[in-house]
Chain A
């Protein structure tokens, strides 16, 4: 159990906790890990909400700055922005926007 005192790889958690190997996804692994540790998951949920909000607002989890676009230009890479219009629509029709609104 010593290893469960740390966040070990999601994959290892699945195996050691003898969870069903399929679907092997990080969500089931992470939440299992949190429950094994007995952690308060409110900080985890709050971070999930922040990320989702950022995706809905900007289409990306990362802040877009002039510096980041300049670096792309210097490497001859395209600098088009991520889509946020469709993402916003999909957040509305799937009910994600409502969840984000209610969890404010």
Chain B
């Protein structure tokens, strides 16, 4: 059994824990055990701290990485935003001696030291590289072969693009699409595939943010997508709760289920909708589950 420390991040930990439990269950089938890190803090969020004080951003992130180093385990992130912070900080501190010395001076005051002994990986990378497409295909339930009738649109999310260039083509990424195909589903392309979810912009310019949600939802309808698969809890909330806000605003009714990739994979592997936490979704997923089951 391979072990990783995992970092779920604020949003999954406190608002979308069903993503955490679904991921743990799915990875156990691939003989990967996720061990929770105790005493963590926010990653911290990649935009705000860098704007205000990059040293604080590096130091707080390095403290979280130290917790995984102390366990001697590589760290898996379940959220694109956490990956953007922890992956970048880990790489920078490993390669920039001066920066590492500065940050270690701060960390010393709380009894910690960044050693640079572990790797930070997204859940996308773990599934794509460490588990692999063939292994995934071998775990798909026979009755989920009907998943090929399922038209899945994917949304990578901006913050994964710092890491993704190490194993995929960032201009035309295929990793998530191939993972969806490995789960037996059909991938549909659409014009706004690389459009930012604009979750952060929601607090800066709400109207613009919702316009962008609407644009993507309309594109998904145009290609008859049955669902949207994401890798990031912020993107998830933007498209799930966001479509409720957009529906209200336009006096219409978008009903496009949004799934976190491990949830889709879990369903295709034979886990129940309940096991994957779909009961917590605001946009109903019954039809989607029905397609997978029949």
- What is the interface of chain A, defined by CB distance below 8 A to chain B? 6-12, 15, 23-27, 29-31, 39, 43-45, 47-52, 55, 59-65, 68, 71-72, 75-78, 80, 82-84, 86-87, 89-91, 93-96, 99-100
Bound form: Cα–Cα A21–B14 in Å: 34
Bound form: Cα–Cα A44–B201 in Å: 8
State how many angstroms separate the Cβ of B47 from the closest Cβ of chain A. Answer: 6
Stretch of B69-77, B118-126, B156-164, B264-272 contacting A (4+ beta carbons < 8 Å): B156-164
0/1 interface trace, chain B 105-144, chain A, CB 8 Å (1 if under): 0100110000000000000000000000000000000000
Query: Could you jot down 28 A-B contacts, CB within 8 Å?
Result: A6-B195, A6-B211, A7-B201, A8-B195, A9-B196, A11-B161, A43-B203, A47-B48, A48-B51, A48-B52, A52-B49, A59-B41, A61-B42, A62-B11, A72-B17, A80-B38, A80-B39, A82-B10, A82-B42, A86-B110, A89-B110, A90-B63, A90-B106, A91-B56, A94-B56, A94-B59, A95-B53, A99-B52
State how many angstroms separate the Cβ of B116 from the closest Cβ of chain A. Answer: 18
Beyond A7-B209, A48-B52, A77-B21, 6 additional contacts (C-beta under 8 Å) are: A29-B158, A51-B45, A71-B17, A91-B56, A94-B53, A100-B52
Does residue B44 face the partner (Cβ distance < 8 Å to A)?
yes
Which residue of chain B has the shortest Cβ distance to A30 in the bound complex? B47
**Contact between chains at B158 and A26 (CB < 8 Å):** yes
Residue among A80, A86, A91 having the largest count of chain B Cβ atoms under 10 Å: A86
Bound form: Cα–Cα A45–B200 in Å: 11
A27 in complex: contacting residue of B50, B106, B194, B215, CB < 8 Å: B50
**Contact between chains at A86 and B162 (CB < 8 Å):** no
Contacts of A7 in B (CB 8 A): 196, 198, 201, 208-209, 212
Does residue B55 face the partner (Cβ distance < 8 Å to A)?
yes
What total of chain B residues lie within 8 Å of the partner, measured CB to CB? 59
Does residue B15 face the partner (Cβ distance < 8 Å to A)?
yes
**Contact between chains at A61 and B198 (CB < 8 Å):** no
**Contact between chains at B109 and A89 (CB < 8 Å):** yes
A75 in complex: contacting residue of B18, B47, B63, B158, CB < 8 Å: B18
Lowest 6 A-B CB distances belong to which pairs? Answer: A48-B48, A96-B56, A51-B48, A10-B158, A94-B56, A59-B41
Bound form: Cα–Cα A66–B158 in Å: 32
Residue among B20, B51, B195 having the largest count of chain A Cβ atoms under 10 Å: B51
**Contact between chains at B60 and A55 (CB < 8 Å):** yes
Does residue B252 face the partner (Cβ distance < 8 Å to A)?
no
Does residue B188 face the partner (Cβ distance < 8 Å to A)?
no
0/1 interface trace, chain B 189-228, chain A, CB 8 Å (1 if under): 0000011101011011100110110010000000000000
**Contact between chains at B106 and A62 (CB < 8 Å):** no
Does residue B292 face the partner (Cβ distance < 8 Å to A)?
no
**Contact between chains at A11 and B194 (CB < 8 Å):** yes
Bound form: Cα–Cα A25–B81 in Å: 11
Contacts known (A61-B10, A84-B41, A86-B110); A44 close to B50, Cβ less than 8 A: no
Bound form: Cα–Cα A68–B280 in Å: 12
Does residue B40 face the partner (Cβ distance < 8 Å to A)?
yes
0/1 interface trace, chain B 143-158, chain A, CB 8 Å (1 if under): 0000000000000001
Bound form: Cα–Cα A100–B200 in Å: 20
Residue among B20, B41, B194, B201 having the largest count of chain A Cβ atoms under 10 Å: B41
Bound form: Cα–Cα A24–B88 in Å: 9
Bound form: Cα–Cα A15–B18 in Å: 35
